[in-house]
A = this chain, B = another copy of it.
Amino acid sequence: MTFRSQLKIRFGDIDRAGIVYYPRFMHYFHVAMEEFFINELNIQYHEVIDKHRIGLPTVHLETDFSKPFSYGDDIEVEVVVQNVGNTSITFGYRVFKQGDTQPRIVGHNVTVCLDMNTFKKMQIPGWLRERLEAQL
List residues of chain A with CB under 8 Å of any chain B CB: 8, 10-12, 14-19, 21-24, 26-27, 30-31, 34, 44-47, 49-50, 55, 57-66, 68, 71-72, 114, 116, 119
Are B17 and A55 in touch, CB under 8 angstroms? yes
Are B72 and A50 in touch, CB under 8 angstroms? yes
Alpha-carbon gap, A66 to B121, bound state (A)? 12
Alpha-carbon gap, A16 to B66, bound state (A)? 21
Are B14 and A16 in touch, CB under 8 angstroms? yes
Are A62 and B65 in touch, CB under 8 angstroms? no
Stoichiometry, as copies per complex, reads 4
Are A62 and B61 in touch, CB under 8 angstroms? yes
Q: Is the interface of A mostly helix, strand, loop or mixed?
A: mixed
Closest to A11 in B: B16
Alpha-carbon gap, A59 to B68, bound state (A)? 9
CB contact under 8 A between A45 and B15, given known A60-B65, A65-B60, A68-B57:
no
Are A10 and B22 in touch, CB under 8 angstroms? no
A23's contact among B8, B12, B59, by CB below 8 Å, is which? B12
